[in-house]
Structure formats: structure tokens, C-alpha cells
Structure 1
């Protein structure tokens, strides 16, 4: 795929971050933003196990979307201590996804500082994500189109992201926030998914303490290269267009999709997956015809 490395800076001022990246909706990695946080020294898996080991956490794996699943419904649950033992013992597909662990363990809030970086961050939503070696987060974009500050801790993860204007190549599933789940973004099948050859994106490996800024509505695919965890802080979209899309997703699209799953069952899921291929390939063909005409 056509991927270029995300720009990196050691540190950045509020003014430069807003003018160079937020206003232009360009991603960037800030490498040393967390070095004065207690979390920079404390946030390792053994620390989370020590202070949150008895907490029951929701886990997700890589199974395809099923009509019987609720929206973002966990596949199983486990004590955090048992989950971290699993992460440290062998590769696993089980992940913690979009979980407000700080609600259960408030002392975690004392370990990080809200960055003064020019974004009005939502203080109620510091979300944590955990994964084992080689576990993957399917290609998707966030329902609320937020500007996201994504911090990684303990180990290394790979982040592949695409701007919203690349959606036409992503085999987006209708009435959803995901690409087709059978696409292997590490090794895409261009015979089956030819539009992906046209997609232009960004890639980087995040290491302990580094922060990735993902602009509004960016597609993202994450792969844990080692066991580790991340935290996302978010700010509502500044674009009125994206804010309206977020409102539509939260209050209309999500509920319509849930209703159709109940009404049509697996036929609805199959229809959406088929339509993702049909719509994307039709757009690709039209683009080709325009170029040669």
C-alpha cells in the first residue's frame, strides 16, 4: 500500500501544534510529551496488574461482526491480573478496547497530566486499550469524529492511518464505521480488493511514552508488536461538517443498524459486506473510465 511515515517531533508548542497539524488535519507523533508524567515511569503492565488486578475487564477478539452481537459488546470478561498474565505468557487475540479503567481505578488519573496543547479535551473520556503480541484492531474510524491524542505505553505498536478522503478506497461497510473485516491490511489481496492499491496513508511505530495525533475521522488500524497498552484523549471535532456526521452516527446510524440486525439478522450483515465491495469497485471503475475518456 502507499504508506509514508508520519512526521515526528520531539516536543511542540501549543501554537505550532494547532497551526501546523490541527488546522491542516495532518497527523504527527510527539515523542517526548509524556516525559514529565508519573505515567512515563510507572505505566507498565506489572503496575496495572498491581493496582487494578481484581478489576473485571471486557475483552474483544478478532471474530467477525455477528448480528447477535450488540454494538461494541464484549466477547468475554476476565480479571485484569489474569489478562495481564495471559499477555505476558503468549500471543493472544484478546484485547481491551475503549475502556474507562480510570472510572474503576481513579488513582490512575493522578499519573498523567492533561496536555496543554490547544485542544479542549473531554475530561470524562480518558480511554484505555490493551493488546497482546500480534493482536490487531480492525480498520475503522471513530463514531464521534474526534481529534485524538493516542499515547502508547509498555512496548511497541504499529499504527496505520488514512484520511477521510481515502474512504472511497477502503471498502467501507455501509451503516458502520469499519472496512470489510476480511481485509488483511498487512498483506492486502489486490485481486479481491483492487481499490486498496489506490489508497494513500500513513504509518508509524509508537514506542513507550510517544503520542500520535490522529485528526478528525481518520481511519486507523493498530497492531501490537509487543504486549502493551495505550490511552486516548479526545476533543470534539472542530469542523461543523464532521460534528454533524458525529451526531448522525451516534443518534441515527447506530440505532438504525441495531434495528436492522434484529429485524434481518445475519442477512443484514452479509448484505452490508457485499455492498461494500460492490460500491467500492463501482467507484473504482468510474474513476478509471473518467481517466481514459
Structure 2
């Protein structure tokens, strides 16, 4: 178990790298840049007084990055949040005498704020993640678990019923195809399929069955949780909360408001979880050198992703629980009634579980596929294919997106 001194020494080692990253925020105003530089270059700083100034800079940067479209935010503003979050963490650790539940929770809150709203600095891309790793060794002494496992809250009596009013075909399931056949019959042919026996070696298939595993590993980490029926709902919103609070309030005890950790870069924020999975070899069929996007989907029974399509190839791996999925080819687009609003143009108005044929009469002519994805299986979804996803139990899925 790491002591406060051990953790401080590990985190202090990154100071020189952070100093070298100051050139990455050269566009920052002189007053803010001077305060940051002083706190990084003076070994006696930061102290409680300078921590107040650093927090003021963080608050100001947060206001700046939330003005206008997130995609148009200038990178130096987000890099400033990353750097100042590191300095704020140093100040916090200098101001405490011992590790406690509250002190560790505050340290991780500072780190996660920087990860969520900042962005990597070139000099040390995983700076804040590395700082969090230094603190993880102390998590077990401050996290209390509830003693409830996923197995006790599953609905295990699930049957696939083709009673959705249209011509649906049960999707093929194939066992661990060769690379050549997968490329020829599914990548090139743009044909969806369920893959079996491809991820049976993942430690996640056993470890993630018990939700207390997440609490013990990273219960104090802050994540952004979607609240509401789905993202097309007018009441849909997002809220920051710890993983422990999310599990206890939305997994163990179903809430009146559905909470969903959806399309979330959990493995970038908490690299320790990535050790439980492996990137599928089928993702090697890429048209670019870009990194594969790995997303987490974690929530209770009843979470829904409305009928929509994505621009990239997608392997959706089911780790915990089961999901029912409807799929339609791009040729069926007109019969699915896409939203006309620019922000929802990749989302359809039809709910394939209960289609309203008076509003959407063309839907009865649509042809699609349906499957129930079980733990240890992966679903290949070609680019632009429409898919509707519903959790039939507590569920944890991992998606791999690539060009």
C-alpha cells in the first residue's frame, strides 16, 4: 500500500515534463501563463495561497471551453486545463497530512476534471492518467462495497421473439471465422454478423460479472453519465458522478431516471480496466492509420440507443448481460424516417420494438435483422448500417470503431 510520501514522489517526477509542455499553451494570456509557470518552476510552490490562483485559472478555462461548439474549442485552452489540473493536484497533496477517504476522493476529482475537460499535452500524453494510477494503490482502503453481484440482478429468462410487425431475419452467428473469410464475407460485403468464441480469453468476462470489482478498482473516479430515456428525449441530460455512486444508484437499485454510461472513453481515463480486454484482431482491416476508438457502454436493464447509424466499422463486444439489437441496411433509410434536424440526421424516428405505422407507414415494407447478443459474443456492424440497441439486463459492452 502506497504512502502519501510515495505518491507525492511519483507525481512530482512529472513536473519537468509539464514545464516543457508550457510551450504548448503559448497563446494563453500573460497573467495566467505567468502564474502557471511560477508554480511549476519554483520547487516551493504550489502552496495553499497559489492553489487559489490556480483554481481560478481552471474555473476561467472551464468557462472558455464551454462557450460555443465543443469541436471548435482551441486546443491550448484544453491543454491549459490539463496542466493546471496537475498543478492543482500538487497543491492538494502538499496541503494534506495523510491519505484518507476524503483526500483521495478530492485528488481523483481534480484529476478526472482535467481528463474530462482537458486534452493530452505532447510532452506527457497520459499525464493525469499516470497520476491517477499512482493513487489507485490506495483505493481499496477507502472504498466500501455493497456485496451485491450482477448475477443476482440478471433477468436470465430471455427469449428472442420475432413479433415486430415487419420482415426480420435472425442474424447469423459464426464461430471464430478466419481473417480471410471475415474480410471477404463481411468487411468487403458490408454484411453484419455475430461472432462467437472470439473473446473467450478476456479476463473481463469473469471479472466484470461482479460490479464490486469496478467499485474496488475505480469507485472514486468521476465519469459523465447520461440521464434519461435516450438522447432524443427532451429531458435527456448528463451528470458528473463517481463510478461508485453510479453503480449504487443506477445498477444495484434501479432509479426512476435511467442512468447510462454510454459511448464513453472509460479505458482512456482508467487504463487499468483496459488490461481486462484485448483489441480484436479483426480490427486490423483498416483504411487509415488512425487509432481505434474504444468505447464503454454500461447500464441497467432497459437502456436504449435509438435507431441510428455511425460512419465507422464497429465491433460491439458483449461482456456482461444481454442486448437485443435490430439492424437495417442503408438501402432501408427512407423506410426508417430519419430525423430532419441536422444534429439528429443519423437517427431515425422509428422504434422497431413498437413502430407507429400511422406515422411511419413505409416502415412495414422495411427488411432487417434481429439478434440477442450474449456475453462473449461480438456483433460486426458495417458503416452506415442502422442499429437499435436495448439492454435486456444489466449490461456492459465494449465497442471498437475504426475506419
Question: What's the offset of the Cα at 1:124?
Answer: 5.0
> Where does residue 155 of structure 1 map in the other structure?
321
Task: Provide closer, same or farther for how the CA distance between residues 208 and 122 of structure 1 changes in structure 2, counting only shifts above 3 A.
Answer: farther
* SS of corresponding position for 1:230: strand
Question: Structure 1 residues 119 and 47 mapped into 2: Cα distance closer, same or farther (>3 Å)?
Answer: farther
Matches within 5 A, 1:61-72: 61-62=228-229, 65=232
Unaligned runs of 5+ in 2: 1-165
Say which of 64, 75, 93 aligns to 2:238: 75
Mapped contact 2:314–2:382 kept (Cα < 8 A): yes
The 3 A distance-change label for structure 1 pair 185 and 203 is same
How far 1:66 sits from its partner (Å)?
Answer: 7.6
1:21 correspondence with 2:195: no
- Consecutive aligned runs of 4 or more in structure 1 exceeding 3 Å deviation: 63-67, 120-124
Deviations 1:79-110 (A, max 9, x none): 11121122122265221111001122111222
1:140 alignment partner in structure 2: 308
1:189-228 residue CA offsets vs partner (Å, 9 max, x unmatched): 1122111111111111111121000001111111000011
Seen in structure 2, the aligned counterparts of structure 1 residues 87 and 66 have a Cα distance that, compared at 3 Å, is: closer
Task: Please give the alpha-carbon distance, in whole angstroms, between the structure 2 residues aligned to 1:110 and 1:84.
Answer: 21
SS class of match (1:202): strand
Which piece of structure 1 moves more, 84-93 or 51-60? 84-93
Q: How many angstroms apart in 1 are the aligned matches of 2:370 and 2:290? A: 26
358, 369, 376: which one aligns with 1:202: 369
**For residues 206 and 42 of structure 1, what CA distance do their matches in structure 2 show?**
19
2:189 equivalent to 1:31: no
SS of residue paired to 1:139 = strand
Superposed CA offset, 1:43-79 (max 9, x none): 3333223222112222222266489x9xxx9522221
What is the rounded CA distance, in whole Å, between the counterparts of 2:278 and 2:233 in structure 1? 39
Deviation at 1:29, TM superposition (A): 0.6
Aligned to 1:131: 299
What TM-score, normalized to structure 2? 0.53
Structure 1: give runs of 5+ residues left out of the alignment: 237-293
Q: Which has the higher helix share?
A: 2
Partner of 1:94: 259
Using the size of structure 1 for normalisation, the TM-score is: 0.72
Contact residue 160 and residue 220 of structure 1 kept, 8 A: yes
Contact 2:327–2:368 under 8 Å retained in 1: yes
CA distance in 1, matches of 2:313, 2:263: 15
Quote the Cα distance in structure 2 between the aligned partners of 1:88 and 1:195.
41
> Does the 8 A contact of 1:122 with 1:233 survive in 2?
no
Per the alignment, residue 268 of structure 2 pairs with: 103
Mapped to 2, the partners of 1:163 and 1:50 lie a distance apart of 42
When structure 1 is superposed on structure 2, of 122-131 and 186-195 the one drifting more is 122-131
Alpha-carbon deviation of 1:123? 3.5
From the superposition, tell whether residues 220 and 152 of structure 1 become closer, same or farther in structure 2 (CA, over 3 Å).
Answer: same
Q: Secondary structure at the match of 1:62?
A: coil
Report what 1:187 is aligned to.
Answer: 354
